[in-house]
Each structure stands twice: as structure tokens, then as C-alpha cells.
Structure 1
């Protein structure tokens, strides 16, 4: 009997990578993609554990899960930082800091 590819194994890997790449989008997009990848990875792991001889692609699932966990951690850290800066400095203060940073970059 020919081995089947684990369902969503490539999708889990892609979502894990995207969760790291999008963690700086205020932390929200990376967090969503990371959580979805972790949930899909857990389902795929259960399927694989039931009959490991029947499936291939478990390495994609493991790698995607690890990347998703890293993406979730980075996204949560970034989201906490954004909330902290908006709570302490406010939106106007953030705009002023960005304006000063841009002026420094133009003069450099």
C-alpha cells in the first residue's frame, strides 16, 4: 500500500513560516496564523500517531509546529510592547517618536 501525505502538512509549515514573518504586524496576524498552525499540527500528530506507517510528511508538521510556537511567542511579545507603548506614550507620542526618527534618518 502506498503511503499518503499527512493532511495539511504543507499548510502547517507555511503557516508556521508566515507566523514568524508577520509577527511585526502589531502581533495580531502572526498570532492568528501561529495558533491555527499549532491546532492543525496537533490534529495531524494525532492522525500520524494512530498509524505512522501509512503517512509521510510528519517532518513538515514538526517543523511547522516549532515555527508556529516561535511565531506565537514573537507575536505576543510584540503585541505586549505595542500595548505598553500606547498605554504609556499614547498615539500622539508614538507619532511624535516616528516623526523624530524620520527626521534623524533624513539628516543622516
Structure 2
């Protein structure tokens, strides 16, 4: 019996890679791609588990799922970093370069 390629296996791998690459786009794009990848991977794994001899490409699904989890973690960390930066420095400081430099000098003096 000839095996057929598992549906969306390449797409899952590509989305997993892009979820890591786009995690620094304020975290939102990487989070969306990561969650989408996990949903697609769950469906593809369920199809594969029904009849494993009929399908190939499960390795792409597994790799894409791992990359999606990493992308989600990195996106969440980046979102938390942005929230911390805004709460610590404030919007006014982030929009004014001179005020930001002054604030960073104060921060560096605290740790010297």
C-alpha cells in the first residue's frame, strides 16, 4: 500500500518556524502562528493515529509542534518584557529620547 503525505505537514513545519521568527513582532504574530500551528498539529496527529501505515510526514508535524511551543514561549516572554518596560519607564519616557537616556543613566548608577 502506498503512503500519502499527511495533510498540512509542511505547513505546520513552516508555521512553527515563522512562530519563532515573528515572536519579536510585539509577540502577537508569533503567538497567533504558534497557536494556529498547535491546532493544525493536533488535527494532523489525530488523523495519523487513526491509520499510521497510510500516512507519512509525521516528523514534520512533530518538529512543527515543538517549534510552535518554543515560538509561543518566546512570544509570551516578549509580551511580558514589553509590559514590564512600559510599566517601569512609562509611555512618556519611551517617547522622549532624552528622558529615556536620563532614566537609563539613573538605572545604571543604581547598579554600580
TM-score range with shorter-chain normalisation?
0.7 to 0.9
User: Secondary structure at 1:23's aligned position in 2?
Assistant: coil
Larger Rg: 2
1:2 to partner: Cα distance: 1.7
Residue-pair matches, total? 100
The root-mean-square deviation of aligned C-alpha atoms, in Å, is 1.6
1:51-99 Cα distance to aligned partner (Å, 9 max, x none): 0000010000000000000000000000011012112212222234697
> Which ranges in structure 2 are unaligned for 5 or more consecutive residues?
102-112
- The TM-score with structure 1 as length reference comes to 0.86
Q: Show CA shifts across 1:16-39 (max 9, x none).
A: 000000000110000000000011
Task: List alignment gaps of at least 5 residues for structure 1.
Answer: 101-108
State how 1:19-98 maps to structure 2 within 5 Å: 19-96=19-96
Secondary structure of the residue aligned to 2:53 is: helix
Normalising by structure 2, we get a TM-score of: 0.83
